[in-house]
A and B are shown apart, each in its own frame.
Chain A
Amino acid sequence: MAVLEILLWPDERLRRPSLAVEAFDAEFQAFVADLEETRRAGPAAVGIAAPQVGRHQQVVIVDCSQTRRPVPNHGWLVLVNPQILSWEGHAMGREGCLSVPDYTGNVLRAERITLRAHDPDGQMHEYDMEGFEARAVQHELDHLDGRVFLDRVVSRHTDVFRRKQYT
Chain B
Amino acid sequence: MKNWYMLTVVGADRAGIVARLTRELFDAGAYLGEASMLRLGGNFTIMLMVCGTWSADGLRERLSAVAGEWGLRVHVDAIEGGLHQHVLPDVRVHVHGADRVGIVAEVTEVLARLDVNILSLDSDVGGVHAAPFYVMQIEGVATAGVGAVEAALEPLRARGIDVRVETIETLVG
Interface on A for B, CB 8 Å cutoff?
A: 42-49, 62, 67-69, 71, 93-98, 102-104, 132, 135-136, 139-140, 157-160
Contact = CB atoms under 8 A, between A and B. Distances in A.
B88 A47 contact: no
A43 B171 CA distance: 11
Interface residues of B, number: 17
Contact of A97 (B168, B169, B172): B172
Kindly name the residue among A47, A68, A95 whose own CB sees the greatest number of chain B CB atoms within 10 A.
A68
Contacts of A136: 171, 173
Given A102-B84, A104-B88, A157-B122, A67 B172 contact: no
Question: Main secondary structure on chain A at its contact with chain B?
Answer: mixed
A157 B140 CA distance: 11
B173 A157 contact: no
Contacts of B146: 69
A46 B171 contact: yes
B117 interface: no
Interface in B133-173: 137, 139, 146, 167-173
Given A104-B88, A158-B137, A160-B137, A98 B171 contact: no
Contacts of A159: 92
Contacts of A43: 172
A44 B88 CA distance: 13
**Which A-B residue pairs are the 4 nearest by beta carbons?**
A47-B173, A139-B173, A96-B172, A94-B170
Contacts of A47: 171-173
Nearest to B173: A47
A81 to B, nearest CB: 18
Given A46-B172, A93-B169, A95-B173, 19 more contacts: A43-B172, A47-B171, A47-B172, A47-B173, A62-B173, A67-B169, A68-B90, A68-B167, A94-B168, A94-B170, A95-B170, A95-B171, A96-B88, A102-B84, A102-B86, A132-B171, A136-B171, A139-B171, A160-B137
Contacts of B171: 46-47, 93-96, 132, 135-136, 139
Interface in B75-126: 84, 86, 88, 90, 92, 120, 122
A140 B88 contact: no
A8 B120 CA distance: 27
A97 B173 contact: yes
B172 A42 contact: yes
Contacts of B168: 94
A140 B173 contact: yes
Contact of A68 (B84, B86, B120, B169): B169
Contacts of A44: 172
A69 B169 contact: yes
A47 B172 CA distance: 7
Contacts of A132: 169, 171
Contacts of B170: 94-96, 104
